[in-house]
């Protein structure tokens, strides 16, 4: 049955119990009729089981260490806390590296702007300015050349000037010629734009600076240790103000949303255990709950002294507000299928009531005239009454448990509403669950 439907039925049953309690306040003489959900007892072929003692283990465990040296400035966790993936566990002092990042980002911005300037080329106004500068140089060159010619002519005729004055004018005209040529070439270069090699050099400088910034940011990330997955803190390894070194563990995290029960199976029995096989698991510390998991791991290496193989049974945990129901290190008993196939009586897992001297189920039996004397004719009419039947649990088959006890395949057992029943109590059946047609059921039918 879907979980949503089961929750709805439980709510209906709770309201029904409240209503029955209120009606009792009106008439104490009337017999209480409890609404329940029942399921038929099933019979099919299952393997014989043997119970193995095991230990509850976390599916994942991580010792979170520091990637750098530093001083702890924040440590916002405590043992037992639930953490989510990516949540900070410890933060180191980062002021110096943050300043380095700011400086590196500023340098990167400068280099990017320089690259953009080279790629975009010279502005029209800058080219016009260079052309004007060339014209100024041209005018100075023409003036210097003309002056040198005049001085040379006067000296040649002996009319005025000296040889020193003529050589000075010659040097001035040569310098003016070279300045003009320099300004002309500069204008030509501006029109052609920057060389591709220079642009690539600028790109390389930008890439180099980007790598420096990313390296510093990565260093900053390493100053914060985070949870690698959802889980629980089971060990604190540092505190605020302490200096941690690279590789030092700051906290231990375990994943408990699912747990493994590890048991050790003899080599003479391991051939009957299969990956994916359903397994009934009992936790002695939790006397009122039975769990059904599946074989997840069969280690192919035995302990050479005991000749046993580690087998892990994966179970979905129950997470409550105060923490996980199944905790690492708990003692467990797993009923693994290790024998031949045989005909078995099975009931749903929810039909088994624990907490007493032995497991039991509530079986529906017919009523007699004496049972109906106190029933309110205007209220719900009983479908029968219940009697307790002690059972011994065997191997799991999906969410069904093979049992040994005085039950037959044509009987019905209570699966919802069985928490507070009393022997002989009248019940009203509001739903009859149908056994699911699973691969295991089909195989059992084929075997018969």
Res 233 pLDDT > 70 = yes
Q: Which two tokens stand for residue 194?
A: 């920057």
Looking at residue 23, its pLDDT comes to 46
Residues 6+ apart with CB under 8 A from 378: none
Res 439 pLDDT > 50 = no
Looking at residue 29, its pLDDT comes to 40
List the end-to-end C-alpha distance of the chain, in Å, as a whole number.
26
Task: Give the count of beta carbons closer than 10 Å to the beta carbon of residue 443.
Answer: 14
Report helix, strand and coil shares of the chain as percent, to nearest 5. Answer: 35, 35, 30
pLDDT per residue as tens digits for the range 56-114 = 999 999 999 999 999 999 999 999 999 999 999 999 999 989 999 999 999 999 999 99
Contact 191, 127 (CB under 8 A): yes
Angle of helix 163-192 versus helix 124-157 axis, rounded to 10: 160
State how far the Cα of 154 lies from the Cα of 177, in Å rounded to an integer.
22
Domains and CATH numbers, the chain: 3-61+253-447 (2.40.30.170), 62-98+221-252 (2.40.50.100), 100-218 (no CATH)
3-class DSSP state for residue 18? helix
pLDDT per residue as tens digits for the range 184-208 = 988 888 888 788 888 899 999 999 9
Contact 69, 417 (CB under 8 A): no
State how far the Cα of 214 lies from the Cα of 444, in Å rounded to an integer.
62
Contact 55, 332 (CB under 8 A): yes
DSSP string across 302-334: -BTTTTEEEEEEEEE--EETTEESS-TT-EEEE
Q: Which two tokens stand for residue 256?
A: 């408990």
3-class DSSP state for residue 267? coil
State how far the Cα of 89 lies from the Cα of 35, in Å rounded to an integer.
49
pLDDT per residue as tens digits for the range 292-338 = 999 999 999 999 899 999 999 999 999 999 999 999 999 999 999 88
Q: Dmax over Cα atoms in the chain, in whole Å?
A: 160
Of 105, 110, 94, residue with least CA distance to 214: 105
Q: DSSP letter at 379?
A: S
Res 10 pLDDT > 60 = no
User: Half-sphere exposure of 396 toward its Cβ, with a 13 Å CA cutoff?
Assistant: 26
Residues 6+ apart with CB under 8 A from 259: 56, 57, 58, 59, 314, 315, 317, 324, 326, 328
Sole residue written with tokens 């180191």: 92
User: Half-sphere exposure of 395 toward its Cβ, with a 13 Å CA cutoff?
Assistant: 24
Of 184, 194, 185, 223, residue with least CA distance to 69: 223
Looking at residue 56, its pLDDT comes to 97
pLDDT per residue as tens digits for the range 111-135 = 999 999 888 888 888 888 999 999 9
Q: Which two tokens stand for residue 390?
A: 């002690």
How many Å is the Cα radius of gyration of the chain? 45
């Amino acid at each position: 049955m879907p979980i949503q439907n089961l929750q709805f039925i439980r709510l209906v049953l709770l309201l029904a119990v409240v209503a029955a309690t209120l009606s009792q306040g009106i008439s104490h003489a009337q017999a209480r009729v409890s609404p329940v959900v029942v399921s038929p007892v099933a019979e099919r072929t299952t393997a014989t089981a043997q119970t193995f003692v095991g230990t509850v283990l976390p599916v994942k465990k991580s010792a979170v260490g520091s990637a750098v040296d530093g001083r702890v400035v924040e440590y916002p966790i405590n043992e037992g806390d639930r953490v989510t993936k990516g949540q900070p566990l410890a933060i180191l002092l980062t002021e110096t590296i943050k300043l380095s990042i700011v400086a590196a980002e500023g340098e990167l911005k400068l280099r990017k702007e320089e690259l953009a300037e080279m790629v975009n080329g010279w502005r029209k106004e800058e080219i016009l300015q260079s052309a004007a500068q060339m014209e100024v140089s041209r005018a100075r060159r023409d003036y210097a050349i003309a002056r040198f010619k005049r001085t040379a002519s006067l000296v040649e005729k002996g009319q005025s000037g000296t040889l020193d004055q003529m050589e000075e004018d010659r040097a001035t005209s040569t310098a003016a010629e070279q300045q003009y040529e320099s300004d002309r070439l500069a204008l030509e270069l501006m029109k052609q734009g920057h060389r591709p090699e220079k642009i690539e050099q600028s790109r390389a400088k930008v890439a180099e600076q980007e790598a420096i910034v990313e390296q510093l940011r990565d260093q900053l990330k390493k100053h914060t240790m985070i949870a690698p997955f959802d889980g629980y803190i089971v060990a604190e390894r540092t505190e605020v103000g302490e200096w941690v070194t690279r590789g030092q563990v700051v906290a231990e995290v375990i994943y408990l949303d699912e747990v493994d029960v590890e048991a050790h199976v003899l080599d003479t029995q391991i051939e009957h255990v299969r990956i994916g096989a359903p397994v009934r698991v009992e936790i002695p510390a939790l006397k009122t709950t039975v769990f059904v998991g599946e074989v997840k791991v069969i280690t192919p290496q035995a302990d050479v002294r005991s000749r046993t193989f580690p087998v892990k049974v994966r179970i979905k945990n129950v997470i409550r507000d105060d923490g996980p129901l199944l905790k690492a290190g708990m003692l467990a008993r797993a009923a693994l299928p290790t024998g031949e196939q045989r005909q078995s009586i099975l009931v749903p897992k929810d039909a088994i009531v624990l907490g007493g001297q032995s497991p039991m189920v509530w079986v529906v039996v017919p009523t007699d005239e004496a049972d109906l004397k106190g029933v309110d004719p205007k209220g719900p009419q009983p479908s029968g009454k219940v009697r307790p039947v002690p059972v011994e649990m065997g191997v799991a088959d999906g969410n069904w448990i093979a049992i040994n006890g005085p039950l037959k395949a044509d009987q019905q057992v209570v699966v919802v509403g069985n928490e507070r029943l009393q022997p002989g109590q009248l019940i009203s059946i509001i739903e009859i669950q149908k056994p699911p047609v699973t691969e295991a059921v089909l195989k059992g039918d084929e075997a018969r």
